[in-house]
Amino acid sequence: MVSGKKTKANRDSVLAARASVVASKPKPWGTIAAVVAVVALAVGVFGYAYTKIDAQNAKAEALAQWTPSDTNKDPSDKIAGVVKKTYEGSKHVTATQRVAYDQSPPFGGPHDGVWADCMGTVYPTAVRTENMVHGLEHGAVWVAYNPDKVTGDALEKLKSRVTGQPYTQMSPYPGLDKPISLQSWGHQLKLDSADDERIDQFIQSLRRNPNTYPEVGAACDSSGFPVDSPPPFVAEAPGPDAIPMTGGETVTSEANQPPPAASGDPSAPATPSGTASSSTPPSS
């Protein structure tokens, strides 16, 4: 007969053997590492998405103060460096005429009867000024830059603000006295850097702002303008036969051009309020 002590000893021996086997079994470090990596990736993805959304919301809130309203008709009045002048609209010249503009780049005055397409169009080469100015009369913002000073990442940053954005146009402007110059009808802002926050503020304040341009509701797409081969920019100063700022033929309709935006367009402003005026002295 087996004694109780031997039975207990045998049981303890078996348990010890099992414990030894369990202790010697390797841990699944590979599986653990994979799980940790997946969790870390998920946390990173969600964190990045949250950060990006938060940054976009912050940007939208920051730009809200630059959105025109009944109580804030021209938010650009709060942007440092903006030059304002009052220009009469609807003054046309022909395709062979030049205008003796009072500003460079100009931001108002007589212009060609055909406007340069300004539906988010980025022109790789400099375009005839008289065509570019016409788009401003329709509520567009023109981003001009000195091709000798703005290249690489800076150029791409400017393009990203224009490409595909209705009522926005961009082109090089040889000889520009600053790297960047923004124009809307009666408004101009010259800048040194593509990172300047005033670029977004200017565009938000003045693109299709019904209080600041003459032809509210006019179209910016131009079937009559050769986007792929636009009339070239002329660097030489206009001659004595140039049309003065007070000249040009007054027109009352542009029926031969693309029709105004449909009234159902949610981006179309409601009613015109005329052009803005200012006592701010102009600068060349």
Considering the chain, what percentage of its residues have pLDDT values greater than 90?
A: 65
Residue 92: name the closest of 201, 267, 249, 232 by CA.
249
First-to-last alpha carbon distance for the chain, in angstroms, is 117
Neighbours of 217 (CB within 10 A): 19
Q: Residue 12 has what pLDDT?
A: 67
The number of distinct structural domains making up the chain is: 1
Is 49 inside a domain boundary? Answer: no
Is 37 inside a domain boundary? Answer: no
Is 59 inside a domain boundary? Answer: no
Is residue 219 within 8 A of residue 159, CB to CB? The reply is no
Is 228 inside a domain boundary? Answer: yes
Is 9 inside a domain boundary? Answer: no
Q: How far apart (Å, rounded) are the C-alpha atoms in residues 31 and 231?
A: 66
Neighbours of 30 (CB within 10 A): 8
In tens, the pLDDT along 88-145 reads: 999 999 999 999 999 999 999 999 999 999 999 999 999 999 999 999 999 999 999 9
Q: Which residue range forms the structural domain that includes residue 199?
A: 80-250
In tens, the pLDDT along 214-258 reads: 999 999 999 889 999 999 999 999 999 999 999 999 998 774 444
State the residue for tokens 């009666």: 186
Is 41 inside a domain boundary? Answer: no
Neighbours of 163 (CB within 10 A): 13
Is 43 inside a domain boundary? Answer: no
Beta strands in 146-250 (DSSP E): 168-172, 180-184, 187-191, 249-250
- Provide the H-helix boundaries in 108-259: 129-137, 152-162, 198-206
Is 264 inside a domain boundary? Answer: no
